[in-house]
Amino acid sequence: MEQRTSSMTDEALLQQLGKQARMYVQSHTPINVEALPEAFETDITPRDTIFMRNNHDLLTIDAQEWQLTIDGAVEHPLILDYAALTALPRVKYVAFLECYGNGRKRFAELGTPAEGVPWGNGAIANVEWEGASVAAVLQRVGLSPDAVEIECRSGGDSAFVRGVEIAPLLADAIFAYRMNGEPLPPEHGGPVRLVVPGWGGINWVKWLTGMTVLTQESQSPFNQESYILLDADGRKFGKVREIAPKAMIVRPSANSTLTAGPQRIQGFAWAARGIERVEISTDGGLTWQPTELAVDHGPYSWRRFEWQWDTKPGTYRVAARAIDQTGQHQAEKAVFNKKGYLMNAIEWLSFEVLEM
């Protein structure tokens, strides 16, 4: 894939990437692109609406030349080629992919800006993934009982390394080589990437070519300097892990002027532990009403929700909140951290309703 330079217009970049016009370009170098809320229409996000988050240039690796090396604290180091990987039993499921920084600009809107790419709500997608079980392959190599993380590497000269915790890799992670029924495209990490359902996108390492099993935490800057939680004074108080419950209203769009009468509120909700229900408030949080959930595509998928609103003239503050299958509610306020991760605070939208 050819290099995209900053001299290219946003429209030209989107066209070259095969993305629709309802996308917003955050940066050209590296390429970071998100969907605008109105672009989300279907349960399964089409390729032209899937966001792109990169820390370095895009890579192109020929599937026939691709290899995965697994070494480190294992009994039997292994090298897999593409034919061997795709010959393994295939796993297929629908899972949401979200950048840990999704919604970061909302920290600034709430009064305290955070560092990093100022994502809106569009660094999220819900995709059908196919590939081979990571757990099955790791069973073949024989993990050390002291293993705690696996350093996962992208190919090429990117020097990208991310230490991923063992537990989610042994749960339902896959080596994905198909996306929405087609071979995984290079702009989304093909020929092979990790899929780690319920965890943020930095763990879903693209252009995967190496895995080194560690008995201690990775010292990669993508573990020690980025994707950690820092308070306002720069003190570390945690690290990013599972995705907490979150809901997003996509229609009507924020600050819309509506006509009194029947209106349909629509949106999507997601969480690492699956969505149990979504509730709507049209009175600033005094009361909450249950919504109607659409088709359940599985425990890792987001859920589309709808609610019939019989509107009367006036000004309204409207929000949706998600509750996961463990009973955890979406937060009223997100915990501030300097790098702006894990923004899952309930988002209030304003609407003006006029007489018919």
DSSP for 149-215 reads EEEEEESTT---EEEEEHHHHHHT-EEEEEETTEEPPGGGTTT-EEE-TTB-GGGS-SSEEEEEEES
Q: How far apart are CA 245 and CA 217, in angstroms?
A: 27
**pLDDT one-digit tens code per residue, 279-313:** 999 999 999 999 999 999 999 999 999 999 999 99
Q: Which two structure tokens, joined as six digits, stand for 237?
A: 């108080």
Q: Which residues of 285-324 are buried (b: 16+ CB within 10 A; e: fewer)?
A: eeeeeebeeeeebebbbbbbbebebebeeeebebbbbbbb
Chain centroid, CA 298 distance in Å: 16
Torsion of CA 212, 218, 219, 223, to 10 degrees: 120
pLDDT tens-digit map of 194-215 = 999 999 999 999 999 999 999 9
% of the chain with per-residue pLDDT over 70:
98
**Is 350 a residue whose pLDDT tops 50?**
yes
Q: Distance of alpha carbon 136 from its chain centroid, rounded?
A: 24
* Confidence band, pLDDT 50/70/90 cuts, at residue 6: low
Positive or negative, the CA dihedral 77, 82, 88, 92 is positive
Q: Which amino acid is at 63?
A: A
pLDDT tens digits, one per residue of 36-58: 999 999 999 999 999 999 999 99
| Chain position carrying tokens 């495209």 | 185
The residues near 247 (Cβ < 8 Å, ≥ 6 apart) are 267, 268, 269, 278, 305, 320, 321, 322, 330, 346
| Rg of the chain on CA atoms, in Å | 21
User: Does residue 14 register a pLDDT over 70?
Assistant: yes
Place of tokens 């796993």: 91
**Per-residue confidence at 4, pLDDT binned at 50, 70, 90?**
very low
pTM of the model: 0.95
CA 174 to chain centre: 16
Give 255's pLDDT tier (boundaries 50, 70, 90).
Answer: confident
